[in-house]
């Protein structure tokens, strides 16, 4: 089975710092300064076209304003420094999630990085930021409703006669130009749950769970996951 897209739920950063007796955001900083960079470089060597990192979920806002402000400061560093280095190596940057709710400086950085990297071809790194699977599906439905209303269809309450195909629906998802993940990896204490990530896209993905916390998820750990992937059967209903 050829691997086109690996998606990673970046879980365990806070636990990593806590177990080492370090400040809370030490794990996140190690992840953006070291872990992600190493994984992207390794994926380039393996010629994997797409690599997705879930950086911020729609549920993370519940952690409060102080936590979010610290996190956005880290994100600014990540986008302005770490991703910039990767772009200089030929990485293309894409995002999924509701960017409109992010601070304006973060939105501007993302827009600029996408523009800079649009012609890069070594690998596409997708950052899921302010992303939630349920939120994405609801936003897609609203886009479809708006599209049909613009076409002169009756008000939204009377759209029962409109038929939406799988292909039509996928055109309105954040991932409309990104292949579905072949392999979804969740590091972090062997938590065997999806936590609202890519609910539509992972219908036929292989799911890999590991006790390794994300800051310790090295290229060697990625190789273990890929080796496991190649032992699995993928029939897709056949």
pLDDT tens per residue across span 68-78 = 999 999 999 99
Long-range own/partner contacts, residues 97-101 (CB < 8 A, 24 or more apart): 97/56, 97/58, 97/128, 97/129, 97/130, 97/131, 97/132, 97/136, 97/174, 98/58, 98/130, 98/131, 98/135, 98/139, 99/129, 99/130, 101/130
Residues 184-193: pLDDT tens digits? 999 988 789 9
User: Out of 38, 41, 60, 82, which one is annotated catalytic?
Assistant: 60
177 given a catalytic annotation: no
φ, ψ at 220 (rounded to 5°): -65, -40
The domain spans of the chain are: 5-229
Tell me what the mean pLDDT of segment 3-29 comes to.
94
Average pLDDT, the chain: 91
94-114 core/surface letters (b: 16 or more CB in 10 A; e: else): bbbbeeeebeeebeebbeebe
Per DSSP, helices labelled H in 92-218 are 104-117, 133-150, 166-170
60 given a catalytic annotation: yes
pLDDT of residue 149: 72
Tell me what the mean pLDDT of segment 62-85 comes to.
92
- Write the CA distances from 208 to 51, 101, 197, integer angstroms: 15, 31, 14
Say whether pLDDT at 154 is over 50: no
Contact assessment for residue 208 and residue 228, using Cβ atoms and an 8 Å cutoff = yes
Domain covering 5-229, topology: Undecaprenyl pyrophosphate synthetase (3.40.1180)
Residues 170-226: pLDDT tens digits? 999 999 999 999 999 999 887 899 999 999 999 999 999 999 999 999 999 999 999
User: Out of 11, 130, 174, 182, which one is annotated catalytic?
Assistant: 11
pTM attached to this predicted model: 0.92
């Amino acid at each position: 089975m050829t691997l086109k897209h690996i998606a990673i739920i970046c879980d365990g950063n806070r636990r990593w710092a806590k177990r080492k007796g370090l400040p809370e955001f030490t794990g996140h900083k190690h992840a953006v300064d070291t872990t992600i960079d190493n994984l992207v470089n390794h994926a380039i060597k393996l010629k994997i076209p797409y690599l997705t990192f879930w950086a911020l979920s729609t549920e993370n806002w519940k952690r409060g304003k102080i936590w979010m402000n610290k996190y956005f400061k880290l994100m600014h560093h990540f986008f302005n420094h770490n991703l910039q280095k990767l772009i200089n190596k030929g990485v293309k940057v894409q995002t999924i999630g509701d960017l409109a709710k992010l601070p304006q400086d973060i939105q501007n950085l993302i827009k600029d990085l996408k523009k800079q990297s649009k012609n890069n071809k070594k690998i596409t790194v997708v950052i899921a930021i302010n992303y939630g699977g349920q939120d994405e599906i609801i936003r897609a439905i609203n886009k479809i409703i708006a599209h049909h209303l613009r076409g002169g269809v009756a008000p939204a309450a009377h759209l029962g006669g409109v038929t939406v195909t799988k292909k039509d629906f996928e055109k309105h998802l954040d991932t409309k130009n990104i292949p579905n993940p072949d392999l979804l990896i969740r590091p972090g204490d062997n938590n065997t749950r999806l936590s609202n990530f890519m609910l539509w896209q992972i219908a036929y993905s292989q799911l890999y769970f590991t006790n390794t916390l994300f800051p310790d998820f090295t290229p060697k750990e990625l190789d273990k996951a890929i080796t496991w992937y190649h032992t699995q059967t993928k029939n897709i209903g056949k």
